[in-house]
Amino acid sequence: MKVITRRRAITSLAALGIASASVGYYTWRWEPHWLEFTYPPLPIPGLASELEGRTLAQIADIHVGPQVDDVYLVESFRRLQQINPDFVTFTGDWISYRGPQQFEQLRRVLEHFPHGRLATVGILGNHDYGP
């Protein structure tokens, strides 16, 4: 049987604290600012020939509010608009509902929302519903 010394206990607790802080930092500062443009092929059997080769941009989880910087969102929208997609879809979580003041913030951010050349559509997500 191995005896846990005070030094080993303190070292283990310190390592656990550092690991917890790292995960917290990642979810607070890194992931909300993780922008990725990918171009996977999307073969769709039976797709109308006039839609073949068109581009689709999907945006999800922008969570307008205190956790994601508005300037970052606007710059991300600008970058996407430069790609000039044919279709833009937004698949929910426009905000993390914290109160009615967020609707004004959302309105300001959405003034810069990219639009598709052929269509722009969006749906609400689970975070978009308040009390």
> What DSSP line would sit under 80-99, residue for residue?
HHHH--SEEEEES--B----
CATH number of 35-128, picked from 1.10.3210.10, 3.60.21.40, 3.100.10.20, 2.40.30.10: 3.60.21.40
Domain boundaries, the chain: 1-31, 35-128
Q: Which helix (H) or strand (E) holds 56?
A: strand 56-59
21's tokens: 């802080």
Instruction: Say which amino acid occupies 119.
Output: A
Question: Rounded distance, CA 46 to CA 28, Å?
Answer: 42
8's tokens: 């080993």
* DSSP code of residue 31: G
Query: How would residue 108 be classed by pLDDT, with cut points 50, 70 and 90?
Result: very high
Position 29 pLDDT exceeds 70: no
Single pTM value for the model: 0.71
Instruction: Say which amino acid occupies 40.
Output: P
- Classify residue 29 by burial, with Cβ atoms within 10 Å: 0-12, 13-18, 19+: exposed
Question: Rounded distance, CA 131 to CA 129, Å?
Answer: 7
Strands 56-59 and 87-91 come out as: parallel
pLDDT tens-place string over residues 68-101: 889 999 999 999 999 999 999 999 899 877 778 8
